[in-house]
Structure 1
Amino acid sequence: MERTRGIAEAVSAVRRGELLVLPTDTVYGVGADAFTPAAVQALLDAKGRGRDMPPPVLVGSVRAATALVEDLGTYGQDLIDEFWPGALTLIFRANQNLMWDLGETKGTVAVRMPMHELAVELLKETGPLAVSSANLSGEPAARTAEEAEKMLGDSISVYLDGGRSGHADPSTIVDLTGSVPRLLRVGAIPEDKIRSVVGVLLTDEDEAPEPAELTAAPSAAAESKPSLTKQPAAEPAQPPAEPAEAPTEPPPAPKEAAETTEAPQPKDD
């Protein structure tokens, strides 16, 4: 009865556009209706975050996830089959027909289905929730409802206490918005297990551009394709020898060295 009443109160809070704290298989999360912009903004405010750090979305089923994205791409279904429900967050291009505002997502959405019975039961009642770890920005993520309440206090309408969370590691994050999967964060699922499914997996070490190669470095989530091989710069032409006497006509300007360019990277997230 206590469980049923808790879920009912949490669902009511979500429908009123209020915040709740819920247990997951990783750490406790603070959640809001993903389709209520004011609630999502309240979530960011409660954590002390800006719109440049949009929250991921938790879903109660794979079907709910597929409704949020354009498509699963080449690797999405395989990763879902292997690791969902579980501690793997996947970044896709968001369905452009959805009326929501999660922040500055640049047209993408991070989605996860947790392996937690209470969380999934709640998500099937509420629909997709924008959920971020239940802590103030910069503080350790809460592993109990009590830890979450100490940090978030009255900004949360309902605290669902499901006991201590499964483990302290956050979810692993993989970006699937490019042609090759990119590992954005190592978490509860090891890198080698991801590689065993997708084969090729980019990491930050795979792309370490020199300062001269980029005029503006994209965010980690925006880099989704491997860099193309850089062509060597052409040797600059030698300037003409200076004449003994001042010429009547100015000497021709030396040819500029061919600039090295690199194929632009897509700005995804």
Structure 2
Amino acid sequence: MVEDIYVDVKLKEPTERPAEKPICICISSLEQLVPTKPPFSPLLWEFMRNVYPGGISCIVPKGDWLLKLGVGAAYDRVGTKDSIMIRVPDHTVTAHLCDITGPLAITSANPSGEPDSTHHDMVIKRLGHKIQGVLCDGQSNELVGSTVVNCLKIDEGTIHFLREGCVPATKVQQIFERVKNSML
């Protein structure tokens, strides 16, 4: 099955997303973070350099650096009190959009609790009455959501998987071990 990548441009009405489900930030590249000077360890930076861009979302410490990134009043609405999930997609249109607009607060394009939308037609069928548009970025091999990696204890030598998605957890763990060993 071939997937079209989408970004819902503007909601017409609120979604049924539970308030306790954190919203993540999508950026065009790690370079967008550099001027904000997040207090990430060298190990976390290197791990992210090795997994981005792609189908991985990293949970990292939240802080004032997000205000410098431009989240403004959305600060309390993204992530949790102490953490934020960051995604750097490998989709040209989405990355270009983030270059133009700055970071985007994003959620999955399916009603909460339902299977991932794997084609723009699914997004329109499920959410078409709530969105004003869908931006397609061509074919993709991602047929499930991103792999979510909790990096909050990376400096203790460990990462945890909250969801295995389009990138196998074993592959991400191998990347982490390689990066960790290269920094010894």
Q: Same fold (TM over 0.5)?
A: yes
SS across alignment from 2:58: strand
Match of 1:186 in 2: 164
Match of 2:119 in 1: 144
**Counterpart Cα distance in 1 of 2:113 and 2:36:** 29
- Number of residue pairs aligned between Structure 1 and Structure 2: 165
Q: Is the 8 A contact 2:29 2:52 kept in 1?
A: no
Give the drift of 1:67: 5.4
Match of 2:105 in 1: 130
The answer to whether structure 1 residue 70 and structure 2 residue 38 are counterparts is yes
- Give the TM-score of the pair, scaled to structure 1: 0.54
My pick for the range that moved more, 88-97 or 163-172, is 163-172
Paired residues for 1:90-105 under 5 Å: 90-96=58-64, 98=67, 99=72, 100-103=75-78, 105=80
Which of 74, 81, 93 is the matching residue for 1:106?
A: 81
Which of 137, 148, 151 is the matching residue for 1:173?
A: 148
**Counterpart Cα distance in 1 of 2:145 and 2:77:** 20
SS across alignment from 2:20: coil
Match of 2:173 in 1: 195
1:107-128 Cα offsets, whole Å, 9 max, x none, are 2110011011111111111111
1:130-181 Cα offsets, whole Å, 9 max, x none, are 1111111122222222211111123212211334543212111111112332
Q: Larger helix proportion, structure 1 or 2?
A: 2
Match of 2:181 in 1: none
**Counterpart Cα distance in 2 of 1:181 and 1:140:** 25
Q: Is the 8 A contact 2:8 2:133 kept in 1?
A: no
Give the drift of 1:92: 0.8
Question: Amino acid of the residue matched to residue 95 of structure 2?
Answer: V
Question: Amino acid of the residue matched to residue 65 of structure 1?
Answer: L
Could you tell me the percent identity over the aligned residues? 25
Question: Amino acid of the residue matched to residue 184 of structure 1?
Answer: L
Q: Is the 8 A contact 2:18 2:112 kept in 1?
A: no
**CA-based RMSD:** 2.7
Paired residues for 1:32-47 under 5 Å: 45-46=14-15
Question: Amino acid of the residue matched to residue 162 of structure 1?
Answer: D
**Counterpart Cα distance in 1 of 2:108 and 2:87:** 13
**Counterpart Cα distance in 2 of 1:93 and 1:108:** 4
- Give the TM-score of the pair, scaled to structure 2: 0.76
**Counterpart Cα distance in 2 of 1:191 and 1:197:** 10
SS across alignment from 1:130: strand
Q: Is the 8 A contact 2:7 2:136 kept in 1?
A: no
* Structure 2, unpaired ranges of 5+: 179-184
Change (3 A) 1:73 1:128: same
* Structure 1, unpaired ranges of 5+: 1-22, 33-38, 201-269
Give the drift of 1:88: 1.1
Change (3 A) 1:72 1:83: same
Paired residues for 1:1-269 under 5 Å: 24=5, 28-30=6-8, 45-46=14-15, 48-66=16-34, 70-96=38-64, 98=67, 99=72, 100-103=75-78, 105-178=80-153, 179=156, 180-199=158-177
SS across alignment from 2:40: coil
**Counterpart Cα distance in 2 of 1:92 and 1:69:** 13
Question: Amino acid of the residue matched to residue 187 of structure 1?
Answer: G
User: Greater RCO between the two (CA within 8 Å, min separation 6)?
Assistant: 2
Question: Amino acid of the residue matched to residue 56 of structure 1?
Answer: C
